[in-house]
Chain A
Amino acid sequence: MAEILGLGMTHFPPLAGRDEQMVRILKRILEDPALPEQYRRPEGWPEPMRQEYGSDEGLSAARRHREALVTQFRKAKRMLDEFAPDFVVIWGDDQYENFKDDIIPPFCVMAYEGFEPKPWEAYRGANVWDEPKDKTFIYQGHPKAGKFLATRLLESGFDVSYAYRPLHHQLGHAFLNTLLFLDYDRQGLPYPVVPFQVNCYGRRVISQRGGVVGWGNLPSEEDLDPPSPAPWRCFDLGAACARVLAESPWRVAVIASSSWSHAFLTPKHYLLYPDVEADRALYDKLRTGDYQAWRHTPLAAMEESGQHELLNWMCLVGAMAELGRRPSETAFIESYIFNSNKCFAYFRP
């Protein structure tokens, strides 16, 4: 009989590296000569950001940030193990990794047989686990569930793409990091995985290659790409996924994986720090179950606040709204200097 566990988390890349490197995205932004002079030093930053940066360029804050994140990942892993899903669906974005100019799908269900990524092969610097460059992780896919999901979504009026094998990249970091972090203690993660790509980066997926560019290299309005799916559409897709999975024979964990507002996507803050206020507002609505407020959030507002990746969470919130679930537990981990705020949410069946 179908059961659904809902989880929200992050795939924050610097968590895979050392604490000394956790502030690297900010440092890259600061190195851009086009950034106005007054923002290049802590004196030009908001007070909470200065405090977090401290006198050790954020090293102490990095330790605290890691501790807070890992605590939540361990909690999520425990909950996942207790639930013992037949498979895991992860809503994640693709940042010009597997999907490039030759095709950008709005949504893509990856009904792969399995995945064998080597996360450290092209990784710069040391990883926090000291795993060797050629370390291979093996994850099972679930083609049957992927095809089932794609078929039923099509019948529900969602034009999802599907894939049986990778195109340009083995497994985008939104999915891979989620798996690596969920098993932070390397005890094993035996659940088959169905990655479900959401085109979160929309206008910036090709023009900005879904990643960090300096203040002086932001694409102009006319260089931007077509948009991502609208927030309401992602919400409705999540709801449809919940309906479909609730009628399935499986126990399924659905996971939204992304940090919230991203500094490097927030020009109004000169790419230095995320939109903490906008994230707090959505977090309050998540905790209180005001899901319709989520659904009605305009894409333009999310983009202005650097919340592009929250479209992954929009799917999760839509799914939980459909199931009538409120979060049993949440955590909001603010940061001005580590590129993004992170949220964890647990929706027990």
Chain B
Amino acid sequence: MARIVLGLGSSHSPQLSTPPEMWPLHGERDKRNPHLLDTDGKHVSYDELLAKADPALAKEITPEKWQARYAACQKGIAQLAETLARVAPDIAVIIGDDQEELFHEDNMPAVLVYWGESIANDPRRYMESVSPAMRAAAWAYGEEKTYPVVSDLGKHLIESLIDQGFDVAHSRLVKPGQGMGHAFSFVYGRLMNGKTLPMVPIMLNTYYPPNQPTPKRCYDLGRALRHAIEAWNADARVAVIGSGGLSHFVIDEELDQQVIKALQSKDAEAVYALPRHRLNSGTSEIRNWIATAGAVEHLPMTLIDYVPCYRSPAGTGCAMGFAQWC
């Protein structure tokens, strides 16, 4: 039977793959970002954030801090890549969110398993009008190619999750001109050292109300996923990879620490109690970590690093997390 031998959690923000001297440009983008939420989960403008920001944040956005944090992030990514290469699983089950890359308002699934034979990657191509910071990070999201999917496992997961009471949407086709979301392509672009591990993509609608799964549902889904993988009649070693998070585009270190503590201590009740109203916008991707943690509950979690990468005096940025379960 199959078994889960590894779990990984990684942020996938473009900021990770942008030289630190360009981070201020990401900060500039935040001035027009309509998805800024304060720590109460309320929509706010950049100017409102700035007006309330702690002046001490100025110390977080110096070139020296950016350089150090960039280096820490690269070290975190390298560690994940090294672990993945060392453990050498046969299959990666990747849990990520789809940011209207494949799924839109004409059908937004809460939970979806892709079970086609393969899935295309459509690398990011930016026009000149797009921020140079975004263009500089495009390299991190895989090649223009078709990646292999373990269709049998995908179908098995759908069947098993349905048996376990999860209402799983499924897909086996990506329309021409479309490709998998950046949550998935990042794993190929940055964590696999050029290798092409076959995968099963699992998409959670972390972002778009009204059907974002609750933290409880995500953790329970992870547990059910483990049960499903372990019931798969194949001698396969499987890695489960959660892609995204942690808090962004307004960094919420308190929430991140609450999440990390709950996941590290495998405290399901604490996970269930995570505040849903603060799990929106980019921060919503913490759900991918929660589901991953549920799937690898049997393995000890090591936090490789937590790097709050502030990029503006308003406190915007992305808090990067890197963790492994093995």
A98 to chain B minimum Cβ distance, whole angstroms, is 8
Contact present for A165 and B169 (CB under 8 Å): no
Known: A105-B109, A226-B115, A227-B162. A158 touches B210 (CB 8 A): no
Asked whether any CB of chain B lies closer than 8 Å to the CB of A163, the reply is: yes
Question: How near does chain A come to B234, taking the closest CB pair, in angstroms?
Answer: 16
Known: A164-B105, A167-B106, A230-B162. A102 touches B173 (CB 8 A): yes
| A22 interface residue per 8 A CB criterion | no
Question: What 1/0 mask marks residues of chain B from 128 to 172 whose CB sits below 8 Å from any chain A CB?
Answer: 000000000000000000000000000100110011011111111
Query: With an 8 A cutoff between CB atoms, is A150 at the interface?
Result: yes
Q: Which residues of A, 99-145, contact B by the 8 Å Cβ criterion?
A: 99-108
The digit string for B98-115, where 1 denotes a CB below 8 A from any CB of A, is 000011011111111001
Interface residues of B in 150-198 (CB under 8 A from A): 155, 158-159, 162-163, 165-175
Known: A106-B162, A150-B211, A154-B211. A160 touches B110 (CB 8 A): yes
Cβ of B107 and Cβ of A105 under 8 Å apart? Answer: yes
**Do residues B168 and A103 form an inter-chain contact, with CB atoms below 8 A?**
no
Q: Which residues of A contact B106 (CB under 8 A)?
A: 163-167
Q: Does B55 make an interface contact (CB < 8 A)?
A: no
- Closest residue on chain A to residue B172 by CB atoms: A101
The answer to whether residues A162 and B108 also contact, given A147-B210, A151-B210, A151-B211 and a CB cut-off of 8 A, is yes
* B-chain residues with CB within 8 Å of residue A161 when the two chains form the complex: 107-110, 169, 211
CA distance A161 to B217 in the complex (A): 15
Q: A154, B212: Cβ atoms under 8 Å?
A: yes
- Complex: A206 Cα to B155 Cα, angstroms: 13
For the residues of A in contact with B, the DSSP-based class is loop
Q: How far is the CB of A232 from chain B (nearest CB, A)?
A: 9
In whole angstroms, how far apart are the Cα atoms of A226 and B160 in the complex?
A: 10
For residue B171, which residue of chain A has the nearest CB? Answer: A103
Q: With A150-B211, A163-B108 given, is the CB distance from A102 to B163 under 8 Å?
A: no
Residues in B with CB closer than 8 Å to A158 are 167
**How far apart are the CA atoms of A225 and B169 in the complex, in Å?**
12
CB of A233 within 8 Å of the partner chain: yes
Are B169 and A103 touching (Cβ within 8 A)? Answer: yes
Give A93 Cβ to nearest chain B Cβ, in Å: 15
- Chain B residue numbers with a CB within 8 Å of A229 are 162, 167
A108 to B169, CA, bound (A): 9
Number of A-B residue pairs at CB separation under 8 A: 101
Closest to A149 in B: B210
CB closest residue in chain B, given A158: B167
User: A161-B211, A226-B115, A226-B158 known; A104 and B171 CB under 8 Å?
Assistant: yes
Which A residues lie within 8 Å of B170 (CB)? 103-104, 225-226
Are the CB atoms of A233 and B159 closer together than 8 Å? no
Is B89 interfacial (CB-CB < 8 Å)? no
Per the bound structure, the CA–CA distance linking A160 and B169 in Å amounts to 9
CB distance from A28 to the nearest CB of B (A): 28
Name the residue on A nearest B174 (C-beta): A102
Contact partner, A106, options B167, B172, B213, Cβ 8 Å: B167
Of B112, B167, B173, B209, which is in contact with the most chain A CB atoms at under 10 Å from its CB?
Answer: B167
* Smallest CB separation, A110 vs chain B (Å): 9
Does residue A159 face the partner (Cβ distance < 8 Å to B)?
A: yes
B214 at the interface (CB under 8 A from A): yes
Which of B109, B168, B214 has the most A CB atoms < 10 Å from its CB? Answer: B109
**26 pairs from A and B in contact (CB 8 Å cutoff):** A102-B102, A102-B174, A104-B169, A104-B170, A105-B107, A105-B169, A151-B210, A154-B211, A159-B109, A159-B110, A159-B167, A159-B217, A160-B211, A161-B110, A162-B107, A162-B108, A163-B108, A165-B105, A165-B106, A226-B115, A226-B162, A226-B168, A227-B162, A229-B167, A230-B162, A233-B167
Q: Please list the residues of chain A having a beta carbon within 8 angstroms of any beta carbon in chain B.
A: 98-108, 147, 150-151, 154-155, 157-167, 206, 225-227, 229-230, 233, 237
Chain B residues in the interface with A (C-beta under 8 A): 102-103, 105-112, 115, 155, 158-159, 162-163, 165-175, 209-214, 217
Closest 10 CB pairs of A and B: A101-B173, A167-B106, A159-B110, A151-B210, A159-B167, A226-B158, A106-B167, A164-B105, A105-B169, A161-B109
With contacts A159-B166, A159-B167, A233-B167 known, what are 7 further pairs, Cβ within 8 A?
Answer: A99-B107, A105-B109, A107-B167, A108-B107, A147-B210, A162-B211, A226-B168
